[in-house]
Structure 1
Amino acid sequence: MATGLDALRVLGVTVEDSAQAPGLLPFTVHGRGAVAGGLVEMDASESSQFISGLLLAGARFTAGITVVHDGKPVPSEPHLVMTVEALRDAGVAVDDGDSNTWRVEPGPIHPLDVVVEPDLSNAAAFLAAAMVTGGRVHVPDWPHHTTQAGDGIRDIFDAMGGEVTLTREGLTVTGPDRPHGLDVDLHDVGELTPVVAAVAAFADSPSWLRGVEHLRGHETDRLSALAHEIGAVGGRVEILDDGLHIRPGEFRPATLQTYADHRMGMAAAVLALGTPGVLVEDIATTGKTLPAFADMWESMVGGPDTGSRG
């Protein structure tokens, strides 16, 4: 969190953290009724959330905010598009004409009524169930036009051999007899990587998942965690500089860890669905973004006797 805390300090906010563990919890933010704002330069190559957080607050800063990114390309860039769109919908003036600079003018943030789209990244695990079983999964109300990065799962599963159909009623994925391997850059849709990796473990050929080196800094080191858990059920995974090389193997029973990481929990459920005798520990960690995940999963796959039961 050091990148975000340092940016706040530049903008005039007093933040106290531990000298022994700077940039980590616990820390104290001292509110004074206003934030000066202005210009902040930062390296957000670890997460687009550093930029989004500042932009969402920037209109209430006395001088607004100008954020300049200086570093490798920002991951999950569609999330920044979502942030800018949400601000403009609320009447905030945002200039994002430069690919590495965002300017939010000071001013009011207007209330408005919105229809919240389904969380497409959370839906990916359920669609993956069709991919690893040759079954069919339908997600109602999938948007036809969206800035959500999770919408990328449609093209990914299509490339892996799924039959992907979007209608007014929603999105339907019918899985193939066996998924195809693929070589794909997931830099902009990094949150989909765990579920895509789980499906790739069942593919008929190797897969390369690239552009996701930033996943080392998420709730856990997701590249290392995926390599270990896919390996536990018999897959062979090489950790690359920016991703994973996954080669399917002979599957075997195992107990899969979830690392207190909701995306790892969802990926483990997919691995368990396609592998007899697999137990997923602490599936409740999926509650971070989908509290009903375990119940929804059991309902979808037909009862409580599945390997994904935690």
Structure 2
Amino acid sequence: MTTATRTLPDTLENPYALSHLDALEAESVHIFREVAGEFERPVILFSGGKDSIVMLHLALKAFHPAPVPFALLHVDTGHNFPEVIEYRDRTAARHTLRLHVASVQDFIDDGRLRERPDGTRNPLQTVPLLDAIESHKFDAVFGGGRRDEEKARAKERVFSLRDEFGAWDPRRQRPELWSLYNGRHAPGEHVRVFPLSNWTELDVWQYIEREGIELPEIYYAHEREVFKRDGMWLTAGAWGGPKEHETPETRLIRYRTVGDMSCTGAVDSDAATNADIIAEIAASRLTERGATRADDKLSEAAMEDRKREGYF
């Protein structure tokens, strides 16, 4: 005769079990500490976007009460949202972190890059990024990429080896069994590190809500003058929009992701709080990049092509 057993939730069966967010946080903190122990000159890519904000929040936790032992690096396209740039500078100052800014405009001005006909500068970020890595001799570069964002990013390991030209080769991906990370690299090579690899957009927002993390206001519903291009609501700016046939209108929108204004679309939304956004994302069937990033729609392999050239 068998006795039926009742299965209890992990938190009731084991009061010391980690919640889903606690487990993700612990993994990310472990990654930051591993990099601090293995590398000489790590740097955190920090744009003022939500993923880099969460990444910095985790780094602060990983080394508290000591200061974060890494500088910040931002590749500024010159077409970023003013609210995000203001947040970037204010945050770096608040935590007394050194901020390196690699300017796409500087590379255009001295002839190392040429402006694209469509005005989009996101594809131009690779050269300034690689130049900054080489000139500052960074050997590990933290990025906020997540595997749920895009199929090319889904192929990444947490530690992603880049060759002396900054290029990514999927065939050189290393196994990461049991959360053992291999940071070995030859002179001239470096490693891209993704502490949020296993997070989803929903995880990020639930963590922002739980931790009370401040974000730039454009992530929340607000009225803004936008115009429609290729099915996306874009903000007017010096980058080249709107054109004569594109009529601006004021709409209630928010941004799911932020980047170059020329290729980052807004979504119609009345979500004004973290809880509203969590409910909105839970019901969505489109990834944030799939819904709002024109640069990923240039070709089927747009992101993977850029990653092979040295982009994140």
Normalising by the residue count of structure 1, what TM-score does the alignment of the two structures yield?
A: 0.26
- TM-score w.r.t. the length of structure 2 is 0.26
Determine which structure has the larger strand proportion and give its number: 1
